[in-house]
Structure 1
Amino acid sequence: MSHSLGIAIESLVATLLMLTIAYCMLLNKRLKCLKADEHSLKATIGELITATEIAERAIGGLKLTVREVNENLRHQIAAAGGLSEQLDKQLSEGDNVLRRLSRIASAARQPAAEPQPEPPLAQLSPAKAVAAAAQAFADRRRADGIAA
């Protein structure tokens, strides 16, 4: 009996060893998959770090570009403001010249003939005042055909 009991125990140990070997093979297979996933994850993390560095450099370049554009725009706005003031001055001077020409034209028409009283030039629109001044200038011709 002791011999059968020994064989039974040895068989049980052998069976348990076989199960342990099978389980170790399963664990080994899973560990290999985990290692492969670890390597691919490391590669992915490396690519992500590289992409992040590239993006940071691009953002730095964009910030520099924004600063340059902002400075350029500030200068252009200042130049446009100066040009606007200059145009305002020229327009007011042009209005003064137009009023003087209108007064000259109305003064030239009055001694000739007054068939109908015209409204004062201040009441005329600027386009009509210019037309009246041009007509008065054309009416005043010298005998040789040159306008006075």
Structure 2
Amino acid sequence: MNLALILDILLIFLLLATIVYAMVLHRRLAMLRSEKEGLETFLDRMSQATAKADASLKGIRQTAEQAQAMLNDPMIKAQALRDELLFLIERADGSAERLAGATSGKVREEAPATPGPVRKPARRAAPAPAPQPEAAPDDGARSQAERDLMNALRNVR
């Protein structure tokens, strides 16, 4: 056989394979073009869903900020009241200690220094009530800090 004939036959087989491959490629491209519209629709829907999610997140963020602001104000007031109550408790403890010291000092002063004749104490029906602090002490006797605190307490109510 002739070498030219063998080369022509080989070239025919290669051209047939190329034609078959081009037909397969053409079908795949046609299928991709038909799915392009579906893909574009999918991308549009995805874009709309992303925009809705972004708007929802903004709404959630605003609601959270409003809730925080709404809860912050009472919390700050409660902390201020707690601090004021702690201050008042400390002052009351100090006053109670001073009062206890003052009453125990009076008892010592009343007791006789030298033993005298033994007397029987008179019977009492009930012990005398302890002196009560004044309901509204004079503002002049208070320090400026106490007056400011009392004014702040009145304003909170």
Relative to the length of structure 1, the TM-score reads 0.55
Indicate the percent of aligned positions where both proteins have the same amino acid.
8
Ranges in structure 1 where 5+ consecutive residues have no aligned partner: 1-14, 114-139
Query: Which residue in the other structure is 2:151 paired with?
Result: none
Which whole-Å CA distance do the structure 2 matches of 1:29 and 1:90 have between them?
89
Matched positions, count? 108
1:37-56 to 2 correspondences below 5 Å: 37-56=39-58
Which whole-Å CA distance do the structure 1 matches of 2:96 and 2:90 have between them?
10
Of 60-69 and 24-33, more deviation after overlay is shown by 24-33
1:52-131 to 2 correspondences below 5 Å: 52-107=54-109
Are residues 31 and 74 of structure 1, via their aligned partners in 2, closer, same or farther at CA, if it must alter by over 3 Å? Answer: same
Query: Which residue in the other structure is 2:36 paired with?
Result: 34
Which whole-Å CA distance do the structure 1 matches of 2:48 and 2:82 have between them?
50
Are residues 147 and 76 of structure 1, via their aligned partners in 2, closer, same or farther at CA, if it must alter by over 3 Å? Answer: closer
Relative to the length of structure 2, the TM-score reads 0.52
User: What do the CA deviations read for 1:55-101 (whole angstroms, capped 9, x no partner)?
Assistant: 11010111111222222222222222322232222122111111122
Ranges in structure 2 where 5+ consecutive residues have no aligned partner: 1-15, 129-157
Report SS of the residue matched to 2:126.
coil
Query: Which residue in the other structure is 2:126 paired with?
Result: 146
Which whole-Å CA distance do the structure 1 matches of 2:79 and 2:43 have between them?
52
The one-letter amino acid of 2:126's match is I
- RMSD of the alignment, in Å? 3.3
Which whole-Å CA distance do the structure 1 matches of 2:56 and 2:66 have between them?
15
Are residues 110 and 31 of structure 1, via their aligned partners in 2, closer, same or farther at CA, if it must alter by over 3 Å? Answer: farther
> Whose relative contact order is higher, 1 or 2, with alpha carbons under 8 Å and at least 6 apart?
2
User: Which structure has greater helix proportion?
Assistant: 1
